[in-house]
Structure 1
Amino acid sequence: MKKVLLSAVAIFAFGFANAQETKFGVKAGLNMANLTGDVEDNSMKVGFHVGGFAEIKISDKFAVQPELLYSTQGTKFDGGSYDFNYLNIPVMAKFFATEQFSIEAGPQIGFLMSAKINPDNGDSVDVKDELKSMDFGLNFGLGYDFTENFSAGARYNFGFSNIIDAEDSGELKNGVISVSVGYKF
């Protein structure tokens, strides 16, 4: 995972050094989150993400887009939900197949801000101390620029790391489908 992060930093630094154009923007959208691994009878939990980004054009066909996003994640289960809040930092490499359409991929690090189990018939239970404070994943997605300023995108985050902190307690990984709209300044 360290190699992935170092590669992302290298791409980010290269992008600043050779950038043709940099645009800043804001984005928000819908999350459909789930957990995979040692969990049964769970289903997607609907949430949201909101934050900002910088699109750093390296050439007409390539850009690097670091982002800072507040993201609600978790899963639903019979009788309640796991509700996790993350501060995610994806760094997306964007290939523009056309002037408006892009294919995106890149690593993501997430910092756990809060974690609760919310049963349908009781008080919520804080479980943040039982989970790891960082999550690593890889994003794949598509983007479309409707105008010079307005865009939309969809991506999937494959969680790589086990988010459970205790050893021999099983394995849980985040998986999030995100659909967003963005505005570049």
Structure 2
Amino acid sequence: MKKIILCAIAIMAFGFANAQKTRFGVKGGLNIATIGGADESNALVGFQLGGFAEINVWKKLFIQPELLFSAQGAKFDGYNGERDYTVNLNYINVPVLAKYYITKQFSVEAGPQLGLLVSSKNIEDEKSVDVAFNLGAGYNFTDNFSVGIRYTIGLSNVYDYNDRFDGYYYDNRYTNNVLALTAAYKF
């Protein structure tokens, strides 16, 4: 956790050093999350909220580190007459994106993300670190206000077990997958 926070601070410090080419902002929006690999998984609606820096590195190419609180998880159908249940996973996510402006208004972005689990509900043996990859696009309505869409593809397993759990064999990887619709304001 300390390493991730120090990394985020270092990225922000780099942004301050290049202040003439860096803009800071806040963003928030809607998450539509699932846990991939689970056939009975249904979408769970959550939210994300946080801040970002947009650092110009070359012409239309930017690096965009973010620090986000993200509510994720999934809804599950119960087995054999059991009640349906919801898995809630709350993360502090640190995506670092390469962002390219195709036009002044339209951008595309991609990059890795590291997530730290801060709380969970209705799940046992969950991993505290989540690794993912993001693909997205954005549209600037003004120099300050934009909207975006992003799909986060989970790369690491949500559960922390080695093939056997409660006597059952699991051969699937259960990953966080999130479609996010956001609005952002740059200062």
The bucket for the TM-score relative to the shorter chain is: 0.7 to 0.9
User: In the alignment, what sits opposite 2:21?
Assistant: 21
Query: What's the offset of the Cα at 1:163?
Result: 1.7
Of 126, 129, 148, the residue aligned with 1:131 is 126
Matches within 5 A, 1:83-162: 83-117=88-122, 127=124, 130-162=125-157
SS at match of 2:89: strand
Q: Which amino acid aligns with 1:96?
A: Y
Look up the SS of the partner of 1:58 in the other structure: strand
- Conserved? CA contact 1:157–1:175, under 8 Å: yes
TM-score by length of 1: 0.83
1:181 is the counterpart of 2:183: yes
Letter paired with 1:23: R
Residue 20 of structure 1 deviates from its aligned partner by: 5.3
Q: Distance in 2 between matches of 1:166 and 1:32?
A: 26
Distance in 1, Cα, partners of 2:28 & 2:18: 28
Partner of 2:80: none
What is the distance in 1 between the residues matched to 2:54 and 2:18? Answer: 13
Distance 1:182 1:149, change over 3 A: same
CA shift for structure 1 position 115: 1.2
- In 2, the alpha carbon distance for the partners of 1:179 and 1:40 equals 24
Task: Tell me which stretches of 4 or more aligned residues in structure 1 moved more than 6 Å.
Answer: none
1:44 match:
43
d(CA) in 1 for partners of 2:31, 2:129 = 19
Q: 2:33 — aligned with what?
A: 33
Q: 1:42-76 deviations in whole A, cap 9, x for unaligned?
A: 21100000000000112331100000000000001
Using the TM superposition, give the Cα deviation of residue 100 of structure 1 relative to its aligned residue in structure 2, in angstroms: 1.1
Distance 1:59 1:99 in 2: 14
Report whether the alignment pairs 1:164 with 2:169: no
Identity of aligned residues (%): 48
Does the CA-based 8 Å contact 1:20-1:57 persist in structure 2?
no
Cα distance in 2 for partners of 1:19, 1:141 equals 25
In 1: Cα distance, 2:43 partner to 2:19 partner: 39
CA distance in 2 between counterparts of 1:18 and 1:151 reads: 22
CA RMSD of aligned residues (A): 2.1
Q: CA deviation at 1:134?
A: 0.3
Q: Structure 2-normalised TM-score?
A: 0.82
